[in-house]
């Protein structure tokens, strides 16, 4: 796994995000080294989820660029997808597939090398082993979330992008997730995480997204230079 190299570096320069017709944030820079963690902070609507989707490659930045080891990510999207795990608001659990089938499908799709052993280990780790044959529709919200998080271990990838991962998790599961993140970072992985809850992420850098929100325009703009429009 060369992507777990100790000198890996994931960075963004001058990132801007346009949602609908609104500039959510602009001129955002960050850099993360192997083993590092980044905590995204900011009120609702400040663009935490948008930034995570942008880092995953679901959104294209309106300006700026993302780089892996100073190589632009946009040059090779598939290589970037192989490096990244994204855990969003939806758990992507199919109600008619069993826990095992759900996880095995995602692991196999993400990296064909991920075998049954890794899948079993991930289920074990997230305390889902006894539920392996249970169909997704019978799971509780917390169990679905754990199944979604189990993808992180079932197919190893160096960058974890977690959008409010602790939602619906009980205290014990949060503790386990914290331990997993610590181990992942010790192996040279990176974690970028947004949360409103308390989470223990030692040595994490903080990124306050509201600092990058463009200021509200003057209402005079509405009335101003009307000659030009009409």
Partner 1 sequence: MHRFANPARFLRLASAILPWSSALSALLIAAGLYFALFHSPADYQQGETVRIMYVHVPSAWLAMACYSTMALSSAVALIWKHPLADLVAKAASPIGAAFTFLCLVSGSLWGRPMWGTWWAWDARLTSMLILFFLYLGHMALINAFDDPSRGAKAAAILALAGFVNIPIIKFSVDWWNTLHQPASVSKFGMPSIDPAMLLPLLLMALGFTCFFVTVLLIRVRTEIIASKLRAIRMTQIHAVPVAVPVAE
Partner 2 sequence: MSRLFGIIHRDLRLALRQGSDSVMVVTFFVLTVVLFPFGIGPEANILERVSSGVLWVTALLASMLSLDRLFQADYEDGSLELLALTPTPLELLVLGKVAAHWLTTGLPLMVAAPVLAVLLNMNADGFVTLLLTMLLGTPTLSLIGAMGAALVLGARRGGVLLSLLVLPLYIPVLIFGVGAIDAAVQGLPVHAHLLILGGMLLAALALTPWATAAALRQALE
DSSP 8-state symbol, 131: G
Question: If contact means CB under 5 to 8 A according to the sort of partner, which of partner 1, partner 2, none does residue 168 touch?
Answer: none
175 touches 156 (CB < 8 A): no
Tokens of 114: 């991920």
Q: Which range, of 81-89, 140-148, 192-200, 219-227, touches partner 1 by CB under 8 A?
A: 219-227
3-state class of 210 per DSSP? helix
CB 23 → partner 1: shortest distance, Å? 7
- And the tokens for 148? 């979604």
Which residues inside 15-44 make contact with partner 1, applying CB under 8 A? 18, 20-24
Q: At which residue do the structure tokens 């970028």 appear? A: 192
Q: Read off the DSSP letter of residue 1.
A: -
Residue 198 binding target from partner 2, partner 1, none, CB below 5 to 8 Å by type: none
Half-sphere exposure of residue 134, counting CA atoms within 13 Å on the CB side? Answer: 13
> Whole-number minimum distance, CB 145 to partner 2, in Å?
11
Binding to partner 1, residues 69-128 (CB under 8 A)? none
- 203 sits near partner 1 (criterion: CB under 8 A): no
Q: How far is CA 148 from the centre of its chain?
A: 12
- Would you say 154 and 122 are in contact if contact means Cβ atoms under 8 Å apart? yes
The entry of partner 1, partner 2, none near residue 23 (CB within 5 to 8 angstroms by kind) is partner 1
Find which of partner 2, partner 1, none residue 106 binds, CB within 5 to 8 Å per kind. partner 2
Of the pair 7, 229, the CB lying nearest partner 1 is at 229
- Please provide residue 125's backbone torsions phi and psi, each rounded to the nearest 5 degrees: -60, -35
Interface with partner 1 (CB under 8 A): 18, 20-24, 45, 63, 208, 210, 213-217, 219, 221-222, 228-229
């Amino acid at each position: 796994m060369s992507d777990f190299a100790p000198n890996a570096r994931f960075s963004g320069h001058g990132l801007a995000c346009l949602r609908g017709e609104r500039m959510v944030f602009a001129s955002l820079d960050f850099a993360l080294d192997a083993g590092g963690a980044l905590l995204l902070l900011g009120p609702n609507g400040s663009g935490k989820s948008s930034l995570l989707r942008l880092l995953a490659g679901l959104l294209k930045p309106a300006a700026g660029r993302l780089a892996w080891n100073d190589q632009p990510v946009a040059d090779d999207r598939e290589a970037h997808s192989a490096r990244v795990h994204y855990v969003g608001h939806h758990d992507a659990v199919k109600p008619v597939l069993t826990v095992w089938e759900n996880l095995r499908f995602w692991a196999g799709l993400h990296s064909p090398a991920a075998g049954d052993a890794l899948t079993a280990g991930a289920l074990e780790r997230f305390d889902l082993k006894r539920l392996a044959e249970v169909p997704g529709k019978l799971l509780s919200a917390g169990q679905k979330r754990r199944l979604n998080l189990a993808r992180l271990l079932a197919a190893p990838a160096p960058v974890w992008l977690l959008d409010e991962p602790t939602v619906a998790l009980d205290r014990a599961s949060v503790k386990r997730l914290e331990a997993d993140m610590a181990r992942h970072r010790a192996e040279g992985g990176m974690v970028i995480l947004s949360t409103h809850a308390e989470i223990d992420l030692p040595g994490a850098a903080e990124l306050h997204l509201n600092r990058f929100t463009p200021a509200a325009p003057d209402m005079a703009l509405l009335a101003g230079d009307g000659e030009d429009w009409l």
